Amino acid sequence: MDDLIKLENIDKSFGKRQVLFDISLDVPRGCIFGLLGPSGCGKTTSVKILAGILGQDSGRALIMGKEMPDLRLMDRIGYMAQSAALYSTLSAYENLRFFGSLYGLKHRALEERIDHVTATVGLGEDLHRLVADYSGGMKQRLSLAVALLSDPQVLLLDEPTVGIDPLLRESIWKELYRLSDAGVSILVTTHVMDEAVKCHRLAMMRDGTLLISGTPREIMKKAGTDDIERAFILFEKGGIGHED
């Protein structure tokens, strides 16, 4: 199976307000797929449906060919929410041990994964501090470490580098590329244009609809520009035909 992440014709409403309109996307094995758009465009809702946290009104959300939610897949999926879901009265280390135990990691294997993920996100020196004392950016980094902990085959990352300094962001992207080279499929939401061009494939989103998808180069070529931000503006204005 080539597409490890798939949304098929997803509609979603909250009450009378429809927030997703016929959303379809495929993320092949080993692909970093970016979902680019402003706050409120439906990126987070799409990721929550894939993670099995929200249900859709129609359509299908599949991970590794299985309709979500599917508890049997949870140790193969790394999910990072936009708002940190951490235990503030525990240290970062204690959080990682707790989440690692949920994935079935024990003893040396767990310690090795903790060492690896904390090095990746740059939290080694603050590992034994209480999460309550962490800044917003540090909580973001710890949330990403938790998502990476089980060495998943699928990663769903909602704005993973918000509030993270440029040097560490570069380190995180190196890890994402390493994971993709190992066959991990990664869906990343972002509103940052210079991050969007780092993705292998990209879909631009506005008001609950997909405007265009393809490689960043293909999208810029279609828009007649070498600037991804300008391409987004052009597609947002609707002056260019859509392509799959």
The upper half-sphere exposure of residue 45, i.e. CA atoms within 13 Å in the direction of its Cβ, equals: 24
Q: Output DSSP code: residue 72.
A: G
- For the stretch 12-37, pLDDT in tens is 999 999 999 999 999 999 999 999 99
Give the span between the Cα atoms of 222 and 23, in whole angstroms. 21
Q: In the structure encoding, which two tokens stand for residue 94, read together? A: 């204690």
**Residue at 206 is within a domain:** yes
**Residue at 244 is within a domain:** no
**Residue at 97 is within a domain:** yes
**Residue at 242 is within a domain:** no
**Residue at 99 is within a domain:** yes
Q: What is the pLDDT along the chain (244 residues), one digit of tens a residue?
A: 488 999 999 999 999 999 999 999 999 999 999 999 998 999 999 999 999 999 999 999 999 999 999 988 988 999 998 877 899 999 999 999 999 998 889 999 999 999 999 998 888 889 999 999 998 888 988 999 999 999 999 999 998 888 788 888 888 899 899 999 999 999 999 988 888 999 999 999 999 999 999 999 999 999 999 999 999 999 988 756 444 4
Give the torsion sign (CA, 229, 235, 236, 242).
Answer: negative
Give pTM, 2 decimals: 0.91
Q: Output DSSP code: residue 90.
A: S
Whether the Cβ atoms of residue 147 and residue 92 lie closer than 8 Å to each other: no
Give the span between the Cα atoms of 228 and 48, in whole angstroms. 26
Residue 223 belongs to what domain range?
3-237
**Residue at 224 is within a domain:** yes
- Alpha-carbon 217 to chain mean position: 21
Locate the DSSP E strands across 29-143.
Answer: 32-36, 58-63, 66-67, 77-80
Whether the Cβ atoms of residue 84 and residue 140 lie closer than 8 Å to each other: yes
Count the domains in the chain.
1
**Residue at 77 is within a domain:** yes
Q: In the structure encoding, which two tokens stand for residue 174, read together? A: 């190196």
CATH of the domain at 16: 3.40.50.300
